[in-house]
């Protein structure tokens, strides 16, 4: 080993999920939205003048921040924007979790929490979800250096009611509590309603799921002005100009069309509810999802084998080869046509078992 190699930061490299390419494939593996962004986004794209690209973008992303403030009926100084909610969450870990006491998050949850905690050398503990994959509030009623959980949780899809989030906050007046609401628009209750009472609450949302804009990378946090100021201070020490001009323009544009947003999330919810009935008929069991995916297992079928059989037919779902999860598949809700093909395959597969 060369001497300079000794100073290289060692991390367990995260391997990004499969992004298969092809015309005919059915992609139900990364919780993307099956519908395009609001029509205004295409229009705004067409009208964009690339001469504006030669200048630095507004570091404060004012047009997007103001549109988000209007959307959520909060003040602009309560909004922090980033390059996807991963950027927002990573920045929040770096900014807020600087305690010797452990950060707490569930054992079964978004896998990146552990990665950021390791990267920034944050001590953490991961209390176990109960048998039904529910968060046990008593595990979070103890000394800690911060709390984060998704609501709805991933990959289970289970949502907790607002009363649960409030109990979490009441039990933890000395900690910053982050609620990661990536999937909230598909049936969860947002903790934004609690922001006025709890200055230590940060709510994180994204354009990647319900807004159909994963490819544009926009995430945001909503919180008290003091939390948002702290996030911005750290962000400006890291990279002042993260959000490029197209993201700012297209993000603000997407927020204008509430009718489209509601119609497309409603369509996904309806497809999901129908999918639940079909899965049940086929003998699958699953937590009752409030997200744009269902986390299901079949008592008579190996999840891994089914995953591989689906993949062979160009139908991609997500399989986690790890403790507590290895009997399950996470199935993103696609269009009705995609789900039809998925179920047609399942029926044939189960019939020959």
Query: 4-33: which residues touch its own copies (CB under 8 A)?
Result: 4-5, 7-9, 11-16, 19, 27, 30, 32-33
**Position among 25, 48, 162, 282 found at the interface with its own copies (CB under 8 A):** 48
Structure tokens at 101: 């006491």
Residue 349 near residue 311, CB atoms below 8 Å:
no
* Nearer to its own copies among residue 244 and residue 341 (C-beta): 244
Angle, in degrees to the nearest 10, between helices 84-96 and 225-238: 100
Which segment (66-74, 116-124, 179-187, 341-349) binds its own copies by CB under 8 A? 116-124
Closest distance to its own copies from the beta carbon of 308 (Å): 22
Decide if 292 contacts 268 (C-beta within 8 A).
Answer: yes
Q: Does 233 bind its own copies (CB under 8 A)?
A: yes
Q: Which residue has the tokens 């609501």?
A: 151
Smallest gap from Cβ 127 to its own copies, in A, equals 20
- Pick one of 109, 153, 200, 292: the residue that binds its own copies (CB under 8 A): 200
Query: How many CA within 13 A on the CB side of residue 31?
Result: 25
Assess 185 for contact with its own copies (CB under 8 A): no
Count of CB atoms situated within 10 Å of the CB of 159: 23
The DSSP symbol for 301 reads S
- Measured distance CA(348)–CA(330) in Å, rounded: 20
Structure token pair of residue 78: 């309560």
Instruction: Specify the stretch interacting with its own copies by CB under 8 A; choose among 207-215, 291-299, 309-317, 340-348.
Output: 207-215
- Considering only 182, 213, 279, 303, the residue that binds its own copies (CB under 8 A) is 213
Kindly tell me which residue out of 162, 214, 309, 350 binds its own copies, with binding defined by CB under 8 A: 214
Q: Which of residues 55-74 bind its own copies (CB under 8 A)?
A: 55-60
Of these, 232, 271, 289, 290, which contacts its own copies (CB under 8 A)?
232
- Cα–Cα distances (Å) from 57 to 171, 221, 241, 247, in that order, read 41, 20, 7, 10
Candidates 22, 23, 24, 50; binder of its own copies (CB under 8 A) is: 50
Q: How far apart are CA 115 and CA 124, in angstroms?
A: 11
From candidates 23, 24, 54, 312, binder to its own copies by CB under 8 A = 54
Residue pair 289/283 in contact (Cβ under 8 Å)? The answer is no
Smallest separation (angstroms) from its own copies to the CB of 155: 16
Q: Do 133 and 296 meet the contact criterion of CB atoms below 8 Å apart?
A: no
Site for its own copies in 149-178 (CB under 8 A): 173-176
Burial class of residue 208 (count of CB atoms within 10 Å of its CB; 0-12, 13-18, 19+): buried
Per CB under 8 A, does 197 bind its own copies? no
Tokens representing 124? 């953490």
Contact flags string 130-149 toward its own copies, x per CB under 8 A: ---------------xx---
Asked if residues 216 and 251 have their Cβ atoms less than 8 Å apart, the reply is yes
Residue among 65, 148, 204, 245 that touches its own copies (CB under 8 A): 245
Q: Which of 109, 151, 208, 271 binds its own copies (CB under 8 A)?
A: 208
In the three-class reduction of DSSP (H, G, I as helix; E, B as strand; rest coil), residue 267 is classed as helix
Please list every residue from 278 through 337 that binds its own copies, using CB under 8 A. Answer: none
Residues of this chain, 74-113, that bind its own copies according to CB under 8 A: 83-84, 86-87, 90, 94-99
Residue 212 or 346 with smaller CB distance to its own copies: 212
Q: Are strands 147-150 and 124-125 parallel, antiparallel or unpaired?
A: unpaired
Asked whether the bond before 94 is cis by omega within 30 degrees of 0, the reply is: no
CB closer to its own copies out of 240 and 302: 240
* The residue to which tokens 């991961």 are assigned: 126
Cβ proximity to its own copies, 19 vs 163, nearer residue: 19
């Amino acid at each position: 080993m060369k001497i300079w190699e000794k100073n290289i930061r060692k991390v367990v490299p995260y391997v990004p999920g499969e992004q298969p390419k092809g015309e005919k494939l059915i992609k139900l593996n990364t919780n993307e939205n099956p519908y395009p962004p609001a029509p205004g986004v295409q229009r705004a794209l067409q009208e964009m003048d690339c001469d504006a690209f030669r200048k630095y973008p507004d570091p404060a992303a004012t047009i997007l921040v103001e549109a988000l403030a209007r959307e959520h009926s909060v003040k602009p100084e309560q909004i922090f924007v980033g390059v996807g909610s991963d950027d927002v969450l990573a920045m929040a870990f770096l900014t807020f979790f600087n305690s010797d006491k452990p950060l707490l998050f569930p054992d079964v949850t978004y896998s990146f929490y552990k990665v950021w905690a390791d990267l920034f050398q944050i001590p953490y503990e991961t209390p176990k979800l109960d048998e039904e994959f529910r968060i046990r509030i008593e595990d979070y009623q103890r000394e800690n250096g911060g709390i984060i959980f998704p609501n709805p949780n991933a990959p289970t899809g289970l949502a907790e009611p607002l009363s649960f989030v409030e109990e979490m906050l009441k039990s933890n007046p000395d900690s910053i509590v982050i609620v990661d609401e990536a999937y909230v628009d598909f049936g969860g209750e947002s903790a934004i309603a609690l922001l006025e009472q709890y200055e230590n609450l940060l709510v994180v949302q994204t354009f990647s799921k319900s807004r159909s804009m994963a490819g544009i990378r926009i995430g945001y946090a909503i919180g008290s002005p003091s939390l948002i100021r702290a996030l911005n201070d750290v962000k400006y020490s890291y990279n002042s100009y993260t959000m490029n001009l197209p993201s700012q323009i297209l993000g603000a544009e997407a927020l204008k069309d509430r009718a489209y947003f509601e119609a497309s999330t409603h369509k996904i919810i309806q497809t999901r509810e129908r999918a639940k009935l079909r899965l049940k008929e086929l003998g699958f069991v699953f937590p009752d999802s409030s997200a744009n995916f269902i986390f299901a297992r079949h008592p008579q079928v190996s999840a891994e084998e089914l995953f591989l059989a689906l993949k062979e037919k160009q139908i991609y779902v997500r399989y986690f080869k790890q403790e507590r999860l290895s009997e399950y598949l996470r199935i993103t809700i696609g269009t009705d046509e995609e789900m039809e093909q998925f179920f047609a395959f399942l029926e044939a597969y189960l019939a020959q078992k």
